[in-house]
Amino acid sequence: MYLLPGKLGLLSLLTLVSTMVVASGTYQEPEDFLSQAFAGDVPEPGIIWLTGERKDAVKSLLGHRYHSLRIRYWKTAERSAWILDEIGKDQPITTGLVINAGRLEQIKVLVFRESRGWEIRHPFFTEQFKQARLNESRELDRNIDGISGATLSVRAMKKLAALALYLDAELRAFDVSSSP
Partner 1 sequence: MGLKTCSSTCLAALLMAGNGIAAAAKMPSQEEMWEIIQKQQREIEALKAGQKANTEKVEATADAVESVETGKQGPLASTSGSSWAENTQIGGYGELHYNNLDSKKEIDFHRFVLFFGHQFTDKLRLFSELELEHADSGDGKNGEVELEQAYIEYDITQNQHAKAGLFLLPVGILNETHEPPTFYGVERNPIEKNIIPTTWWAGGVALNGEIAPGWSYDFAIHEGLDTSAGNNYAVRNGRQKTSEADANDLASTARIKWTGVAGVELAASVQYQEDVTQGNDADAGHAWLYEAHADIERGAFGLRALYAMWDLDGSGPKSVGADEQEGFYIEPSYKFSLFEQNFGVFARYNKWDNTAGSNGGDSEKKQYNAGVNYWPHPDVVLKADVQQQDNEGTSKNDNGYNLGIGYQF
Binding site for partner 1 (CB under 8 A): 2-6, 9-10, 13, 16-17, 20-27, 30, 67-70, 83-85, 89-92, 94, 110-113, 115, 118-119, 122, 124-125, 128, 143-149, 151, 155
Output the smallest distance, CB 19 to partner 1, in A.
10
Output the smallest distance, CB 90 to partner 1, in A.
4
Output the smallest distance, CB 162 to partner 1, in A.
14
Amino acid at 52: G
Output the smallest distance, CB 64 to partner 1, in A.
10
> Is the Cβ of residue 81 or residue 101 nearer to partner 1 in the bound state?
81
> Is the Cβ of residue 21 or residue 77 nearer to partner 1 in the bound state?
21
> Is the Cβ of residue 77 or residue 145 nearer to partner 1 in the bound state?
145
> Is the Cβ of residue 78 or residue 94 nearer to partner 1 in the bound state?
94
Instruction: Tally the C-alpha atoms within 13 A of residue 92's C-alpha that lie toward its C-beta.
Output: 11
Q: Interhelix angle for 52-62 vs 151-173, to 10°? A: 160
Output the smallest distance, CB 100 to partner 1, in A.
21
> Is the Cβ of residue 3 or residue 77 nearer to partner 1 in the bound state?
3
Long-range CB contacts (within 8 A, 24+) of 2-7: none
Distance of alpha carbon 17 from alpha carbon 25, whole angstroms? 17
